[in-house]
Structure 1
Amino acid sequence: MTHIACLTFDFDVWSGFAARDMQTPTPISRGEFGLVAARRILSLLKSRGVRSTWYVPGVIIDTHEADVGRVVEAGHEISHHGYSHLVPASMPPEHEEAEMVQAIEAIRRVSGRAPRGYRSPSWDLSPVTIDLLLKYGFDYDSSMMGDDFTPYFARRGDVVTVDAPFRYGTPTRLLEMPISWSLDDHPYFEFFRIGQAVMPGLANADMVLENFLGDFEYMRRHSDWGVLTYTFHPYVIGRGHRMLMLEKLIDRLGEMGATFMAMEDAADTFLSSRAAA
């Protein structure tokens, strides 16, 4: 029995705020706290011997290369998270491809190799994203929610209309490592006021911890093999009381028998077990 926990960090810093036209000093500084928090997170991961995956926009590498370099030096996987934090579904195809190439080169420069994995900013793929990921040699994506702890192969060519049955496209070789908003720190913890909309956030961290542990316990009870992906943002999880929650999460998962892996290692493990079956 193998139950894998992937700790992943979207190292957006200020790029997500800038992409949402929140470019005044306070929201930018809110994102910059992620640079402080990253050092805390790296220290915690080192103390627990956990290798993780960091999804980093290319613009953050180009602006904060030394900070991203510390993640590389600590042995963590660096994966693709766009160049800017603009949503691919909002871009013309040629813009999306140009950003994909630009970010690949930034990751290659800071880590010494091309990224194997991709996570879409805001988890919203365009109609051409899967084709681009295949074209540029990616092994896995982590942007979709069609399962919870079982990887599957991403499709291309789905046809979705309001008034006709869904038409399935063709599975590809691109492995999907599924995610969920319920295992993401951002909607639980971040307060936003955008226009007339308010996202309250600011949840009690120990109550969120119960949710995070509960999904792992369900996987453990109902499957002999599985991989559960947790998504964190350094500027979110790096606040003091949430760092205590992250520490508790790692320790409790370890007590429950979790095997911690970077996403690329979990993907390889899945593919190897499938080939051996």
Structure 2
Amino acid sequence: MPWKDFYTTSNEIGMRDGETRWPQGRQMAMGLTVNLNPAAGPKGISAKDLAYPTWHFGMNEGLDAFLGLFRDLGVRATFAVPAVVAETYRERMSAILDAGHEIAGQGLYGEDPATLEPGGEAAHMARATEVLEHVIGAAPWGWYALSRPDDQAATGCATNDTISLLKAQGYTYFGNGLADDAPYWWVSDAGKAEALLTLPYYYHLDDCFFLMFPREGTGLERPAALLRNWRAEFKAQYRRGRYFNLCVSPARSGWGHRFENLAAVLREVMGHPGIWAATGAEIAAHWEATYPAAETLKLAPSIWKDYADSLS
């Protein structure tokens, strides 16, 4: 099916089952994203967000529990971090890097660029990149625009403009795309064949939407549902040999029974043969080398046509 303007972020020619190849013949890749953005609203992190006791717990006890679990299981994760968090919690960033994990960008304040003045997204991205490079000692490879609980469509805040800016800034991949369940090329300008490698994300596998309150029965505390989603998705993706992503926050999944759920799923996953638990940068590097855009991105002329009574 040909690519259609403004209809999807991909060329709609997805990787078929059986065509996906992972390093050393492994069966499946797992991308574990750790979200370190406490922002409650689209304008990004506020002083109030950083004052919540749950946030302090997440950046201390919760993060320590995560790092210990990942170490014990041999899992390498990608931490999606707003620049202001990276700069404020430098010691925590060092602990993440020393454990072999990746730190990727997630805005200057974890903000929605739609709230910024014209040109603001470029300025914020440039400043965030500068701060992250200074904190982690190298330019970040990846960038995330993860959803927030108040995001009605639960799709995050990235646009084609975001992707174009990321290309210009030298980023290798975008970390949360919804157009496929295997890595794909986000086409930001079909005429120029401009595209950026994108890793899959799905909000049904993100603890942000399931663990908002401390106990069940409050309507927005559904750890059992999240656990079912994780297990069902892993089973399907493992059978197909594709890509499995979880998105978690230590401020949510770092607590008692929630942490036990995460630990149980990761132990089950890593107990299967042929699991490649890699960082976003590692997965992106493999995909770009194996399925380069110049060879695999097949852009066809748009067949989309608007009519006088079209709702589009």
Instruction: Report the TM-score, using the length of structure 2 for normalisation.
Output: 0.75
Partner residue, 1:216: 234
- Count of residues in correspondence between the two structures: 256
- What amino acid sits opposite 2:139 in the alignment? A
In the alignment, which of 198, 201, 217 is matched to residue 220 of structure 2? 201
In the alignment, which of 107, 130, 133 is matched to residue 108 of structure 1? 133
Partner residue, 1:262: 279
Asked if structure 2 preserves the Cα contact closer than 8 Å seen for 1:11 and 1:233, the reply is yes
Structure 1 unaligned spans of 5+: 158-167, 193-198
- What amino acid sits opposite 1:143 in the alignment? N
In the alignment, which of 173, 176, 198 is matched to residue 176 of structure 1? 198
Work out the CA distance in 2 between the residues paired with 1:28 and 1:245: 23
The alignment partner of 1:143 has SS state of strand
Work out the CA distance in 2 between the residues paired with 1:126 and 1:185: 23
Q: 1:170 to 1:10 in 2, by over 3 A?
A: farther
Asked if structure 1 preserves the Cα contact closer than 8 Å seen for 2:197 and 2:284, the reply is yes
Cα displacement string for residues 32-89 of structure 1 (whole angstroms, at most 9, x for unaligned residues): 2221211111111111111110011001112111111211111110101001021123
The alignment partner of 2:210 has SS state of helix
Partner residue, 1:97: 122
Partner residue, 1:66: 91
Cα displacement string for residues 136-189 of structure 1 (whole angstroms, at most 9, x for unaligned residues): 0111102320112x11101114xxxxxxxxxx7765341010100011011011
Which is further off, 243-252 or 208-217? 208-217
- How many angstroms does 1:206 deviate by? 4.1
Which is further off, 65-74 or 50-59? 65-74
Asked if structure 1 preserves the Cα contact closer than 8 Å seen for 2:104 and 2:140, the reply is yes
Partner residue, 1:164: none
Work out the CA distance in 2 between the residues paired with 1:61 and 1:72: 12
Identity %: 25
- What amino acid sits opposite 1:155 in the alignment? V
In the alignment, which of 69, 84, 92 is matched to residue 109 of structure 2? 84
- How many angstroms does 1:21 deviate by? 8.1
The alignment partner of 1:218 has SS state of helix
Structure 2 unaligned spans of 5+: 1-25, 148-155, 297-312
* C-alpha RMSD of the superposition: 2.6
The alignment partner of 1:129 has SS state of helix
In the alignment, which of 248, 253, 273 is matched to residue 237 of structure 1? 253
Cα displacement string for residues 70-117 of structure 1 (whole angstroms, at most 9, x for unaligned residues): 111111101010010211232234211121112112221222110111
Cα displacement string for residues 240-274 of structure 1 (whole angstroms, at most 9, x for unaligned residues): 11111111111101223322111111112222332
Q: 1:57 to 1:24 in 2, by over 3 A?
A: closer
**Which structure carries more helix by proportion?**
1
The question of 1:137 aligning with 2:137 is answered no
Partner residue, 1:32: 56
Partner residue, 2:210: 188
Work out the CA distance in 2 between the residues paired with 1:130 and 1:75: 27
- What amino acid sits opposite 1:145 in the alignment? L
Work out the CA distance in 2 between the residues paired with 1:121 and 1:92: 21
The alignment partner of 2:291 has SS state of helix
Instruction: Report the TM-score, using the length of structure 1 for normalisation.
Output: 0.83
- How many angstroms does 1:215 deviate by? 0.9
Work out the CA distance in 2 between the residues paired with 1:244 and 1:140: 31
Q: 1:18 to 1:248 in 2, by over 3 A?
A: same
Partner residue, 2:268: 252
The alignment partner of 1:228 has SS state of strand
Q: 1:111 to 1:24 in 2, by over 3 A?
A: closer
